[in-house]
């Protein structure tokens, strides 16, 4: 998907959610068809099970419909709001059912940086915002806040102490906050 078509896609998702706020069922159907594949990827990266991911997707789309009035376009774009709703639902489900979701010893979580974080890094707005960060900072931030990895999982992945990972993420957020202030 080129950057222009990705931007157009984001505009369409914004328009669909605006129509959804007014209760348009057709907008909900179209929003579902435009976003389900991407949101499925996000959810499955957190819950690690296809059947559970389908359940989480269904529950999250129901949440989108029932809480559609909470979205305000002036406070952010629709895609970010949708990702947050689905991410939160997947993490809640994962934490609630952690005992039953434990993966077998041979199964591994997909490599987050190569697969998932690159898609997020290449969006127009995020590319501009994440540009001043180094690769490890970007990877930590996206894996933690978008994909739902715990700080402990990142510490294990980087083979670093937990405090180091937490400090890196905190410093990265402060760096982004100061950079964002400079841009305004």
CATH of the domain at 60: 1.10.1740.10
143 and 163 housed in the same domain? yes
Q: Are residues 21 and 36 in the same domain?
A: yes
Domain boundary residue, one of 108, 143, 169: 108
Whole-number Cα distances in Å, 146 to 14, 69, 73, 95: 19, 23, 20, 16
pLDDT band at 7 (very low <50, low <70, confident <90, very high): confident
Q: Which residue has the higher pLDDT, 131 or 29?
A: 29
Question: What average pLDDT does range 116-137 have in this prediction?
Answer: 67
Q: Are 100 and 35 in contact (CB under 8 A)?
A: no
Between CA 183 and CA 115 the distance in angstroms is: 30
Spatial contact of 154 and 140, defined as CB atoms under 8 Å apart:
yes
pLDDT digits (tens, 9 = 90+) for 57-113: 999 999 999 988 888 765 667 888 888 889 889 888 877 776 444 443 334 444 444
44 & 114 share domain? no
CATH of the domain at 123: 1.10.10.10
For residue 164, give every residue at least 6 positions away whose Cβ sits within 8 Å of its Cβ, in sequence order, or none.
155, 158
What span, in angstroms and rounded, lies between the C-alpha atoms of 130 and 181? Answer: 14
Same domain, 168 and 94: no
Structural domain of 114: 109-184
**Nearest residue to 60 via CA among 35, 87, 31:** 87
Give the number of other Cβ atoms within 10 Å of residue 93's Cβ. 20
Kindly state the tokens that stand for 58: 């269904």
Single out the residue in 108, 140, 168 at which a domain terminates: 108
How many domains does the structure of the chain reveal? 2
137-181 pLDDT per residue, tens: 888 887 787 767 788 888 888 899 999 999 998 998 888 877 666
pLDDT at 55 over 80: yes
Give SS3 for 110: coil
- Would the pTM count as exceeding 0.85? no
pLDDT tens digits, 29-44: 999 999 999 899 888 8
Contact 31, 20 (CB under 8 A): yes
**Same domain (yes/no): 30, 70:** yes
Distance CA 44, CA 6 (A): 22
Task: Tell me: do 67 and 117 sit in the same domain.
Answer: no
């Amino acid at each position: 998907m080129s950057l222009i078509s990705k931007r157009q896609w984001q505009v369409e998702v914004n328009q669909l959610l605006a129509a959804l706020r007014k209760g348009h069922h057709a907008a909900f159907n179209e929003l579902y068809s435009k976003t389900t594949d991407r949101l499925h990827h996000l959810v499955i990266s957190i819950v690690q099970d296809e059947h559970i991911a389908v359940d989480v997707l269904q529950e999250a789309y129901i949440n989108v419909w029932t809480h559609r009035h909470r979205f305000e376009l002036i406070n952010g774009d629709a895609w970010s709001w949708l990702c947050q709703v689905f991410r939160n639902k997947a993490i809640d489900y994962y934490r609630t059912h952690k005992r039953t979701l434990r993966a077998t010893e041979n199964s591994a979580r997909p490599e987050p940086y190569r697969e998932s974080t690159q898609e997020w890094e290449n969006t127009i707005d995020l590319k501009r915002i994440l540009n001043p960060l180094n690769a490890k900072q970007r990877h930590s931030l996206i894996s933690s806040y978008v994909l739902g990895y715990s700080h402990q999982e990142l510490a294990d992945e980087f083979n670093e102490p937990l405090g180091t990972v937490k400090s890196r993420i905190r410093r990265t957020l402060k760096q982004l906050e100061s950079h964002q202030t400079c841009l305004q």
